Structure 1
Amino acid sequence: MPAQNPARLPRRWLTAASAFALSTALLAGCAVYKPEVLQGNFVSREQVSALQPGMSRDQVRQVLGTPLLTDMFRSNRWDYVFTAQHRKGVEPQKYAVAVFFEGDALARIEGAEDLPSETEFVERMSDGKVYKPRNLEASPEKLQSFTDSQKAKAKPQPELPEAPSTTSYPALPQ
């Protein structure tokens, strides 16, 4: 291996040091990207107020949705958890509601006292933006024009084949 020229060695270091300084200066303005993470089921105060003791599990699922956690060792408890992290301009949020059953009937709810209403939740998550409610009602004329256009787009259905004359089949060979 040939000996390096002592005059060139500092020049290489200078080049490497200046490249490092330049890259550091360019990256100094960059921040680490943290993706927004929304997880779980948001349950509002209005949803919890619709629950009544004695409701069946299916009725509770209709109101609150599928639970995020169901414990296989305690089948009488459903947990609904919602977390929001790394949302720009919004503080991290966490809501947890536990629903308890006796048999198939709703017995009690825990954690519902800290839940926001739907309006409060939207205000917290919107970072100060104001959303105007939209008019979602259709006039009878608009409804009629919609049904007329759907009928015009409808394709004629092909005729279905007739059912077989017999539903008994021969025995399978043994």
Structure 2
Amino acid sequence: MLAGLGLVLTGCGLTPTGPRMSDRVLGVITPYRIDVVQGNVVTREMVERVRTGMSRSQVRELLGSPLIADAFHENRWDYVFTIRRAGTAYQQRRVTAIFRGDALESLESDELPSERDFVESIDTGKVSGKPPVLELSEAQLRALPAPKAAAPAAAATLAPAKPASGPTRTFPPLEQP
């Protein structure tokens, strides 16, 4: 009976009745979800630098290697980006470059975010506690031990190296005569 009740409650908790309802089991427990990032991040600033007439290598330099370069459509490159992270909205964007020969003919894209907007959209803001203090206070600096004095110059000179002692090894020749 308890097992049946558990299945019913688990099933109710996993129904897609709300936004990302499946993130919680029984409304309380949130299982770990891995981040899934696929494709190329292409931002508005990157696309603004691309001009028609650019060569394939120039477009690749600005946008990166395309995710899809189909052998049957060799004049078309597709840049697809998807990201699914716990705590953030699912994102998917597409940029398509059409070439005529080696020159870019057109560039079509979804509405792309700026670099700043993209970073803000994936930042979950889950920072626990205060950030660490990276500088010592005056009191902490005074509490540090004094540095050791430098050794005199005469002791700093290097003594001549002693010949190696111990058994010497002999190896057979690499090539046989």
Equivalents in 2 of 1:93, 1:31: separation in Å?
21
Count of residues paired in the alignment: 110
TM superposition shift of 1:111: 1.4
C-alpha displacement at 1:128, in angstroms? Answer: 4.5
Match of 1:116 in 2: 113
**Partner of 2:122 in structure 1?**
125
Greater relative CO, 1 or 2 (CA 8 Å, sep 6+):
1
CA deviations over 1:63-122 (Å, ceiling 9, x no partner) = 00000001111100000000011x12100000110000000000001115x010100000
2:52 match: 53
| Secondary structure at the counterpart of residue 41 of structure 2 | coil
The runs of at least 4 aligned residues of structure 1 exceeding 3 Å deviation read: 27-33
Write the distance in 2 (CA, Å) between the matches of 1:46 and 1:129. 27
Using the size of structure 1 for normalisation, the TM-score is 0.55
Aligned equivalent of 1:76 = 75
Residue 53 of structure 2 contacts residue 104 of structure 2 at CA under 8 Å; is this kept in 1?
yes
Task: Could you tell me which runs of 5 or more consecutive residues in structure 1 were left unpaired when the two chains were aligned.
Answer: 1-16, 131-174
Q: Hey, what does 2:160 align to over in structure 1?
A: none
CA contact (8 A) 2:50 2:59 kept: yes
2:88 maps to what in 1?
Answer: 90
Q: CA deviation at 1:40?
A: 0.5
Residue aligning to 2:20: none
Q: How far 1:33 sits from its partner (Å)? A: 3.5
Whose helix fraction is larger, Structure 1's or Structure 2's? 1
In 1, distance between residues paired with 2:68 and 2:34? 24
* Alpha-carbon distance in 1 for matches of 2:122, 2:92: 12
For 2:154, the equivalent position in structure 1 comes to: none
Percent identity between the aligned chains? Answer: 46
Q: CA RMSD in A?
A: 2.7
Q: What is the distance in 2 between the residues matched to 1:31 and 1:51?
A: 43
5 Å matches for 1:5-154?
Answer: 30-85=29-84, 87-112=85-110, 114-128=111-125
Q: How many Å separate the matches in 2 of 1:128 and 1:35?
A: 17
Partners of 2:30 and 2:46 lie apart in 1 by 39
TM score, norm. by length of structure 2: 0.54
CA distance in 2, matches of 1:31, 1:61: 41
User: Does the C-alpha gap of structure 1 residues 84 and 76 become closer, same or farther in structure 2, counting only changes over 3 Å?
Assistant: same
